[in-house]
């Protein structure tokens, strides 16, 4: 998964970017 902020490659199970710490955006289901 590519970080939208710094474009670093991250494993899909990570909830935050390991490079810059940006929270991963949810593209599947959103909480209701």
In the DSSP assignment, the letter for residue 23 is B
| pLDDT attached to residue 25 | 73
* Residue 30, pLDDT above cutoff 60: no
* Residue 21, pLDDT above cutoff 60: yes
Percent of the chain with pLDDT over 70: 78
Would you say 6 and 17 are in contact if contact means Cβ atoms under 8 Å apart? Answer: yes
Would you say 10 and 2 are in contact if contact means Cβ atoms under 8 Å apart? Answer: yes
Average pLDDT over residues 12-32: 79
Using CA atoms, how far apart are residues 30 and 10, in angstroms rounded to an integer? 21
What's the mean per-residue pLDDT of the chain? 84
| pLDDT attached to residue 27 | 57
Q: Indicate yes or no: pTM above 0.95.
A: no
């Amino acid at each position: 998964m590519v970080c939208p902020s710094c474009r670093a490659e991250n494993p899909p199970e990570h909830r935050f970017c390991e490079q810059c710490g940006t929270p991963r955006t949810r593209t599947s289901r959103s909480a209701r």
